[in-house]
Amino acid sequence: MGCSRSIPSETAIPTAETDALLLCHVCAMKHCIVGPGAKTGHRAALLTVVKTRKPLTCPSIDDWVVKMESEEDHDFIIAPLLFRKPALAQMEEPEYNQGDQPKLEKTFFVLILLMYLVILLGNGVLILVTISDSHLHTPMYFFLGNLSFLDICYTTSSIPLVLDGFLTPRKTISFSACAVQMFLSFAMGATECVLLGMMAFDRYVAICNPLRYPMVMSKAAYVPMAVSSWLAGGVNSLVQISLAVQLPFCGDNVINHFTCEILAVLKLACADISINVISMGVANVIFLGVPVLFIFVSYIFILTTILRIPSAEGQRKAFSTCSSHLTVVVIFYGTILFMYAKPKSKDPLGEDKQDVSDKLISLFYGVLTPMLNPIIYSLRNKDRRPTMESANQTASVTEFILLGLSAHPKLVSTFFVLILLMYLVILLGNGVLILVTIFDSHLHTPMYFFLGNLSFLDICYTTSSVPLILDSFLTPRKTIPFSACAVQMFLSFAMGATECVLLGMMAFDRYVAICNPLRYPMVMSKAAYVPMAASSWAAGSAASIVQTSLAMRLPFCGNNIINHFTCEILAVLKLACADISTNVVSMGVTNVIFLGIPVLFIFVSYIFILTTILRIPSAEGRRKAFSTCSAHLTVVVVFYGTILFMYGKPKSKDPLGADKQDLSDKLISLFYGVVTPMLNPIIYSLRKRT
């Protein structure tokens, strides 16, 4: 049975009030229904009908409801920065508009990427430290390793999709991928709640029953405790996601969130979700309420025991063993409480802003806690304090002495003039190149944008060390304060790591330009290459923060003479009077990420580039194509070739020649720090036009 309806005016369709009426309107052609959950194209069809006021013929309501239930969407659209328009304004513009907040998306892309890299590095290093350091094979650090692995899994299940959503215009996710993401995020969240409760029990036994601690918290006890946390979280998530994916989704597939958050997905269901609500309520009581109550009771006993300790020093030491865990608990549950307990806006005009703020709070909650956990635990006070003697020795090191060329005074004047000349060339060459790329509109391309970043990086890298080197050539006392040494280490390490990633980005740019020239303007648009450069800086800075923090926390017990021109991190680590295996492992992982992966990426890119160039029939065409990447290839060879020569050359076996080799190593390192930045602008200024 059909029906014939006429839409009298635009005001007859205010959206939510006439859902039943909208269900009945079907396009005469092959367009789908234009319902309240319809997509952008369907709403445009409805807008045409509204303006022309033409009658439509559509099937009965019952027929259409059956049709809707049988045609479920297999994709969801993620609309994180969606602003809804009130009443008729919603009809006049598509509801799903990706161009509303481009600047906001770029800002959050860089910010979230930086935080994600800190999460991976911080938690990854913490896991490696707890595995490699036998002193940390304790229940608390075993739980902490599980917590770090959990944080990596939790963020990796969502952050890459969030970052991709900031860059791509169409933010879709398949139904199955959405279900997997919901399962992982829900499982990790529930597991963390139980794990924090287990850690509270560990602290309770350590402080309230210290003599029984080795027996109660043996390996046979704490390993099953951690496994049960993972199993409980996994089973709970499996139940909740199974109930969610069985619901029918009849058209509206726009998730008003950054990820497939389960509550946002449930809002799209066209069926009763009371079972899901009850099930989630029970799960929240079990996985939120019970652990919170358990932690609260544990800390009541802990605080009671601490207050019974007669000395203030004893109280401080006892509390320091659980202060980190307590801080993590407060941040974790405090953020949850703030998210779900804060008052809602009563102003209808303020609902959109609050909706966006709720999503942003949820997003930062998902990355802030995993980012802070390793930082909090790395800064925690040690359970066993060093002796007063070692403490006094550590406190006495307030500055370092840089040897430089002290043993070779005749070379000082020559190298002062040479290094000064090269530094001036670096400043002039890179400075001019930056100005040229800014003021010449023909050079506003991705490759020259990366080149401008590379020039600025070279200026920063050399300025962090060369002025100090020149000063040391002139002054008899070559000292540097402890804090200034830390800053110099951070800057040099950050600039080096950033340059490695930046050269990889430039290789990708050349790959697209030569292998996919027609797609180059679209792939390497400004919305793509600016975040690529920003992520290079963010990655390098995050790696440097981790390495410098680990180095500066080491005790330095008297020997403060650095046999180098600058505070080179390997030279500083040699002075530490503690085990540096953690630092070595951490630097090994960082070298694989920031040296190995970019080199492999550049190598593979140039294999494709050379293959494409060799397919060009004419010699002139091959020459022109190769000239577009010759400068970048030269810089890569100089950069990585010098590194390979420095660290790959054989060591002298002659004890008498050790001093000469030590001097040559320092000079090679010095010239590596100024030759590459000096050559980069020369190479690119001599490159042939693309």
pLDDT at 311: 87
Q: Tally DSSP H helices, then E strands, for the chain.
A: 28, 8
At 462 the pLDDT is 87
Query: For residue range 337-348, what is the model confidence (pLDDT) as tens digits?
Result: 766 655 555 554
What's the whole-number mean pLDDT along residues 251-278? 81
Instruction: Give dist(CA 65, CA 21) in Å, integer.
Output: 12
Residue 499, pLDDT > 70, answer yes
Burial 110-124 (b: 16+ CB within 10 A, else e): bebbbbbbbbbbbbb
Residue 614, CB half-sphere, CA atoms under 13 Å: how many? 6
In terms of DSSP bridges, do strands 399-402 and 479-481 run parallel, antiparallel, or are they unpaired?
antiparallel
Average pLDDT value for residue range 288-306: 88
DSSP 93-118: S-S--TTS-HHHHHHHHHHHHHHHHH
Which range has the top average pLDDT, 155-159, 353-357, 427-431, 468-472? 427-431
81 vs 158, residue with greater confidence = 158
Structure tokens at 249: 């989704």
Cβ-proximal residues to 459 (8 Å cutoff; 6+ apart), any chain = 426, 427, 430, 431, 677
pLDDT tens, position by position, 224-245: 999 999 999 999 889 988 888 8
How many whole angstroms separate alpha carbon 386 and alpha carbon 394? 10
For 394-434, give the DSSP string. HHH--EEEE-TTTT-GGGHHHHHHHHHHHHHHHHHHHHHHH
Cβ contacts of 636 within 8 Å, gap of 6 or more: 503, 507, 602
Confidence (pLDDT) at 78: 59
Question: Shortest CA distance to 252 belongs to which of 243, 261, 242, 264?
Answer: 264
Q: How confident is the model at residue 639 (pLDDT cuts 50, 70, 90)?
A: confident
Instruction: Using the Cα atoms of residue 352, residue 260, residue 114 and residue 96 in order, give the sign of their dihedral.
Output: negative
CB of 415 closer than 8 Å to CB of 578 = no
Comparing 647 with 52, the larger pLDDT belongs to 647
Polymer length of the chain = 690
Q: Does the CA dihedral 347-350-351-357 come out positive or negative?
A: negative
Written in H, E and C, the secondary structure of 335-387 is HHHHHHHCCCCCCHHHHHHHHHHHHHHHHHHHHHHHHHHHHHHHCCCCCCCCC
SS3 172: strand
What does the angle CA 636 – CA 639 – CA 642 come to, to the nearest 5 degrees? 135
Are 598 and 500 contacting, i.e. CB atoms less than 8 angstroms apart?
yes
For position 191, what pLDDT does the model report? 92
pLDDT category of residue 82 using cuts at 50, 70 and 90: very low
Report whether 572 contacts 397 (CB < 8 A).
no
Q: Residue 75 belongs to what H/E stretch?
A: strand 75-78
Q: Which of 138, 51, 57, 33 is nearest to 92 (CA)?
A: 51
Distance between CA 327 and CA 417 in Å, rounded? 54
Alpha carbons 364 and 371: distance in angstroms, whole number: 10
12-16, 548-552, 616-620: which has the minimum mean pLDDT? 12-16
Q: What is the mean pLDDT of residues 416-426?
A: 88
Rounded to the nearest integer, the mean pLDDT of the chain is 74
Does pTM surpass 0.75?
A: no
Dist CA 304 CA 317 (whole Å): 15
The answer to whether 321 and 223 have CB atoms below 8 angstroms apart is no
Rounded to whole angstroms, the Cα distance separating 628 from 614 reads 14
- pLDDT above 60 (res 81): no
| DSSP code per residue over 235-284 | HHHHHHHHHHHTS---S--EESSSS--HHHHHTT-SS--HHHHHHHHHHH
Name the amino acid, one letter, at 659.
Answer: D
pLDDT of residue 351: 52
Pairing of strands 56-58, 3-5: antiparallel
Q: Is the pLDDT of residue 52 over 70?
A: no
The reported pLDDT for the residue numbered 248 is 86
Look at 288-292, 342-346, 542-546, 629-633 and tell me which has the smallest mean pLDDT. 342-346
Q: If you average pLDDT over each of 39-53, 464-478, 627-641, which comes out highest?
A: 627-641
Beta bridge partners of 400: 480
